[in-house]
Amino acid sequence: MKVDVLLGLQWGDEGKGKVVDVLTPKYDVIARFQGGPNAGHTLEFNGEKYILRSIPSGIFQGGKINIIGNGVVLDPLLFRQEAEALAASGHDLTKKLFISKKAHLILPTHRVLDAAYEASKGAGKIGTTGKGIGPTYTDKISRNGLRVGDILHNFEEKYATAKAKHEAILASLNYTFDSKELEAEWLSALDYLKRFNLIDSEQVINDYLKEEKSVLAEGAQGTMLDIDFGSYPFVTSSNTICAGCCTGLGVSPRNIGEVFGIFKAYCTRVGSGPFPTELFDETGDKICEFGHEFGSVTGRKRRCGWIDLVALKYAIMINGVSQLIMMKSDVLDTFETIKACVAYRVNGEEVTTFPYEINEGIEPIYVELAGWNTDMTKMQSEDEFPEEFNNYLTFLEEELGVPVKIVSVGPDREQTIVRYTDN
């Protein structure tokens, strides 16, 4: 049995949570392989709206097994808040959620360090969410991190050592803080964490594969935020691409099956960093308004623009995407004309490959397509698609070389249309 991977192809916020929820009935196991509580996955069904930050999006579907993998960084306090809120709405996680012992812990001082580092950058701020993600991954790479399994093995001494190192760094930055109250709540949340099954996730997942159980790996953020291949340095601190599934869950590359790449019918980005197709006019405001483009965790307004096929082709190549899933098609329902960036003009030269560095000097080159001017939100099959929308899909498939298997026409799980049902 193979591990299928689902990930974002743009700058995050593509709608991965909804798609995981839709696909979950086909799988036995849903596993999150990277990222932290800065990544909010929004799901809507039965008139309710849920936002997941660390918990896999398969948690709502029956008795499926859900795993937080070793590539994730976990804040016990935020995790407890999330889990308790789900329990209060009737979703008890204790029997179906498993947490890797090798997942790294976000300490209270990591959040303080995040704020201190961001403040020190001045005008060069990255736009971090302040959740302590970057400092936690930094400690992981420098071999100073604490892992979930450490709470069962001489934790007090390990925690004191890590805390002292952080306090020394903060003192060198002349950054004053008082995290005593936060620390007390955080330590209390560690006891809550012990209620869950803490596992050697790499062993468990590979055993599941031997037992022919189907596994769906859920990524966070998006390809263009990958630490190696994204728009560096305006990126996240983990590998958001398909390869991150192997290191974030402990599965071999030969065990990767389908790669589902999710993208919006347009583009958005949160925080700082280059965005070649960003719109600063009424069109951009209209996309933002119709798409409700505000961060599910941070509440920050997202920057909006036309779809960028140069970046999208790059993301498809890096990930080995086998099937595409297009989200928020309905947001463009009222546009007379739809634009798509097919190339960049860099220093007067037209390029179709993603450059080493993207900056304000890059000019997007667009093609224009006729809009469909049709309310698609109540459509239930592709037979109802207007001709202009079918033309848009055909154009994308020809440009990208990968079939668009699923089209989302609204936020609810029912507003999802599957194409190519023979696969």
Give which of 54, 70, 65, 71 is closest to 94, Cα–Cα.
65
Distances (CA, A) of 237 to 139, 226, 398: 11, 7, 33
Q: Which residue among the candidates 21, 41, 308, 333 is catalytic per the annotation? A: 41
Residue 41 designated active-site: yes
With beta carbons less than 8 A apart as the criterion, state whether 134 and 237 touch. yes
- CA dist 51 and 168 (Å) reads 36
Residue 13 designated active-site: yes
Of all helices (H) and strands (E), which one includes residue 67? Answer: strand 65-68
For 246, list phi and psi in degrees, rounded to 5.
-65, -45
Write out the two tokens for 36: 């932290």
Distances (CA, A) of 254 to 4, 148, 220, 222, 258: 11, 28, 22, 23, 12
Instruction: Classify 389 as helix, strand or coil.
Output: helix
Tally of CB atoms within 10 A around 345: 13
With beta carbons less than 8 A apart as the criterion, state whether 401 and 367 touch. no
Residues sharing a CB contact under 8 Å with residue 23, sequence separation 6 or more, in sequence order = 6, 216, 260
What's the CA dihedral at 112, 114, 117, 119 to 10 degrees? Answer: -80
Instruction: Classify 35 as helix, strand or coil.
Output: strand
Residue 38, Ramachandran bin (φ over 0: left; ψ between -120 and 50: alpha; else beta): alpha
DSSP 320-371: T--EEEEE-GGGGTT-SEEEEEEEEEETTEEE-S--S---TT-EEEEEEEE-
Tally of CB atoms within 10 A around 203: 10
Of all helices (H) and strands (E), which one includes residue 208? Answer: helix 201-210
DSSP 165-193: HHHHHHHHTT-----HHHHHHHHHHHHHH
Q: Which residue among the candidates 4, 13, 226, 330 is catalytic per the annotation? A: 13
- Residues annotated as catalytic (active site), given as ranges: 13, 41
